[in-house]
Structure 1
């Protein structure tokens, strides 16, 4: 009897141990299965959330968003009342997809309203072309001429637009110079050797312009050195009978005496001596052996002069 009792007890302990091992293994299996299901549920939920966010971003108006929220809300209510919530979720997601498609169509309409169609682009392009054309430079032609209307070939033309805008050119053989200028007010100045400088205001306003600047010659007609053209003073020395005195000497002194210059010449066989002089007052003296010295004044005024000096015998 005792052996049977021990055997029964041992058998019972063995069964209990086996059951405990099975329960433990089952618990571990269930735990692993639960973790796997939880991970799958998180992945699926994240995917659904990303899709829902994408649809919400593509929706152009608040009305569509509110419609999605209402649909989602009704889906949540169905989830609460139905035993199988997955079907309700699928329907809600399908509704969101439809809404997103419709919203995409609305987005296309919005892009057309924004002026992205061909007609709007052409209009913007035309306006840009017009604005660019307004800033294009125009040609200013400057003609430099003298009082007689002849071109001054050595003239220089300056164009000053203010604010540091300055340009200078020499004219061509026709007395012309061309400048490429934008719209605005400019001061044009022309100058040349032997002429008085002249200036004129000109406005460039959307078209080419041509102006003529007339330069007046300087009054004295001098060149840059201030020297005038020389003239010839011819002196003739003769006796009281009108015969030339071929051994006479003529002295010429300008009117700035005592600081003026003096020049002497012997006459030729005809009793003449020539001097190259400029405009001004001069004193001419002639003398010869056997004759009394004689003096006279002469003025040179833009032309040659000839004077006769008569010597009286001693």
Structure 2
């Protein structure tokens, strides 16, 4: 059973006033008058305290607690007020939890109530249950209930719970409320639908008699847009030419300049520098245009581009020929395996250069055109000497055979 937990603060009504109407929930001996009379015990169902008399009952307004009601119990009952008291100087062995309840439904109620006390760690110290207690009478004053507990000295909070109840007699149930609400909702929906239908039909009728749009031929006779050929006859309209400048490996050249020149007008042109992606854009008239592209370290190019609407053009620049050639010498043994401890000397008219091969038996040189003497040596191998003519990039394999 899911419970509705209600936090509350200290009561503002005195304990004496609450106890004046308390139902005695203990046994008859605990609630009977000290006179011990059986007749008095049977008739005495409340414990009354005269506010003017001294009492060992001490109300503790600072004691935190809560009242628990099930969803069904909450429909019938309202928690008006609650409080906690010690029997003797606090903290005492015996204590009471008190609650004031009101009857909200008009039913005759029978209640089962449980009280519990807990220490500061939330451990239950004591609990007590009173079953079959008469609930608050319909139409009468609120009823107050007190439950006595023991082992209370370490109490840090308390709890009261209506654990079960019975309801008899005529009273208005939640189902009745729901049915009324549903009937009301259905009625409203029906009226709304009828109203919408009537309004819709009336509107439709209005549309049927409205022939304004059928007789309106203004748009049909408006030929302003058809005769406006300004854009079609504008011979000065410009189009976009996008140019991308790259090297032979397809990488952008970010320091190139591009000049776009009208092929029919000698001497006219516009020059722009490409962005960091090697791109530039011109607004040009349709027709043929000459593009001249230059960049440091590359050969300049000139080419003609036909612009007819938005146009894209890629220009590839070749690296300048600086007159130097790359000579790569690969040193291998008789089995074709690289020799990784060889030295290579290249001697020409401008002097000589010595390189040690790498782990793959390779050594590279930058040389101008000319004839060179190549000397390759390695431990345990005879020295090899060759004459080479270098006029372009060249890879030469030198094979050393071990001494026999």
Tell me the TM-score normalised to structure 2 length: 0.28
Greater share of strand residues, 1 or 2?
2
Tell me the TM-score normalised to structure 1 length: 0.34
Please tell me whether Structure 1 or Structure 2 has the larger radius of gyration of its CA atoms: 1
